[in-house]
Amino acid sequence: MPLNLERLSLERRRPAAFTLVELLVVVSIIAVLIGLLLPAVQASRAAARRTQCASNLRQVGLAMGQFCNAHRGQFPDTSHNQAGDVEQSWIYTIAPFMESVDAIRICPDDLKAADRLDQKLTSYVMNAYLTDEPRSFAVTNHNKLRESSKTLVAFEIADQKAPIIENDHVHNHAWFTSLTVARKQVLQKIEADAAIERHAGSSHFLYADWHVGPTPAVTVAEWADTQTPTDNFCIPK
C-alpha cells in the first residue's frame, strides 16, 4: 500500500515538472524565432516606406506635369517668389492636379513628418533653379528644357531642416560656390539641405520627365566632387 501511494504521488508530480520544462523550451524557441524574424519584419516595413516615398514623388511629378501644361510650361512658384503675404508651399499650388495632396506630400521616413504634415508643408524640396528668378542658369519654364530627363525637380528634405514655409525650396546654387568647391565642402552643404541617406543609404530624386530616380548617397557624393561651381547637377538641362 505505501508503495502504491508513492507511485501515485510520483505520477502526479512528474507530468507537472515535465510541462514546465516543455514550456521553457517552447518559450525559448519562440524567443529565438522572434529574434530571427524581427529584422526581416523591420526590413520589409522600411522597404514599404521607401516604396511609398517613391510613389509620392511620382504623383508629385504627374501633378506638376499637368500644372506646367496648364500654365504654358511655367513651373509653380515657391515661397521665395510669391508676391504679398499669401504663403503656401508649391505642393499646394499643384494640389488641384492631384487626388489628395495630404496623402502624398510627406515621406514616411521624414523625422519631422508630423510637423510638416501639421504646417501644410512637404518632405520634398523644389530645385530653386526652376523657380527663383533672376538667377544665372535658371530655367523656370518646362518647355525651355532641352533634357528634361536630366533636370532635377525635387528631392528629399533633410531631417534637420525646420518645418517652415521658406524651406519649400533650397538655394541649390549655394551648394556649389568657388569656396565650397575649393574647400571640398559641397557634400556637407548638400547634406545640410537634403536627406541623401534616408532610405537605407539612398534617397529619391524627381526629374523633369517625371521619373523618380532612387539615388545612393555615394552617387550624390560623386556629383558633389567637382572642379568648378558650374558643374552643379541642379542646373537645369
Binding site for Zn ion (CB under 5 A): 53, 80, 107, 128, 132, 156
Under a CB-based contact definition with an 8 Å cutoff, are residues 91 and 97 in contact? no
CB atoms within 10 A of CB 181: 20
What is the nearest approach in angstroms of Zn ion to the Cβ of residue 69? 24
Q: If DSSP codes are grouped into helix, strand and coil, which group holds residue 132?
A: coil
- Helix, strand, coil shares of the chain, percent, nearest 5, are 55, 10, 35
What is the nearest approach in angstroms of Zn ion to the Cβ of residue 83? 14
Q: Would you say 1 or 86 has its CB closer to Zn ion?
A: 86
Buried b (16+ CB within 10 A) or exposed e, 53-73: bbebbbbbbebbbebbeeeee
Under a CB-based contact definition with an 8 Å cutoff, are residues 168 and 78 in contact? yes
What is the nearest approach in angstroms of Zn ion to the Cβ of residue 18? 53
Under a CB-based contact definition with an 8 Å cutoff, are residues 145 and 139 in contact? yes
What is the nearest approach in angstroms of Zn ion to the Cβ of residue 38? 23
Q: Would you say 158 or 187 has its CB closer to Zn ion?
A: 158
Q: Would you say 60 or 128 has its CB closer to Zn ion?
A: 128
Q: Residue 102 is which amino acid? A: D
Q: Would you say 107 or 186 has its CB closer to Zn ion?
A: 107
Under a CB-based contact definition with an 8 Å cutoff, are residues 220 and 187 in contact? yes
Cα–chain center distance at 177:
26
Q: Would you say 101 or 128 has its CB closer to Zn ion?
A: 128
Q: Would you say 53 or 186 has its CB closer to Zn ion?
A: 53
What is the nearest approach in angstroms of Zn ion to the Cβ of residue 49? 7
DSSP state of 167: G
What is the nearest approach in angstroms of Zn ion to the Cβ of residue 131? 7
